[in-house]
Amino acid sequence: MVAAFLFLFARLSAAADVLVYSGGAPQEVLRILAPEFERQAGHRVSFTFALVTEIERKLTAGESADVVLLPVPLLSALEKTVPMRPEGRSVLARTGIGVIVRTGSKPTDISTAEAVRKMLLAAGSIALPAASVPSGRHLTRVFKELGIAEVIEPKLLFKPAIEGGAGLVANGRADVGLYLVSEVRKAKDVTVIGLLPPPFQSFVVYGAALPRHSLEPDAGLAFISFIFTNSRLSFTGFLLERFGINSCRCVIGLARFFFVTRLRRRGGRKSKEAK
Chain mean pLDDT for the chain = 83
Q: Cα(50)–Cα(133) distance, rounded to whole angstroms?
A: 11
What whole-number percentage of the chain has pLDDT above 70? 78
Q: What is the pTM of this model?
A: 0.78
Helices then strands, each counted (H, E), the chain = 13, 11
| Cα–Cα distance list, 173 to 85, 122, 123, 159 (Å) | 45, 15, 11, 12
The predicted pLDDT at position 107 comes to 83
The per-residue pLDDT for range 53-110, each reduced to its tens digit, is: 999 999 999 999 999 999 999 999 999 999 999 888 888 888 899 999 999 998 899 9
Q: Which domains are delineated in the chain?
A: 2-94+204-274 (3.40.190.10), 97-195 (3.40.190.10)
> ω into residue 199 within 30 of 0, thus cis?
yes
The answer to whether 133 and 141 are in contact (CB under 8 A) is no
Euclidean distance between CA atoms 224 and 56, whole angstroms: 19
String of b and e for 35-57 (b: at least 16 CB within 10 Å)? eebbebbbbebeeebbbbbbbbe
As a whole number, mean pLDDT of residues 169-190 equals 95
Q: Of 74, 81, 46, whose CA–CA distance to 206 is shortest?
A: 74
Question: For 119-162, what is each residue's pLDDT tens digit?
Answer: 999 999 999 999 989 999 999 999 999 999 999 999 999 999 99
Nearest CA to 67 out of 41, 88, 50, 95 is that of 88
- Crossing angle of helices 217-229 and 2-12, in 10° steps, is 160
User: Residues with Cβ < 8 Å from 29, sequence gap 6 or more?
Assistant: 182, 234, 235, 238, 239, 243, 245
Reported as a single tens digit per residue, the pLDDT across 155-168 is: 999 999 999 999 99
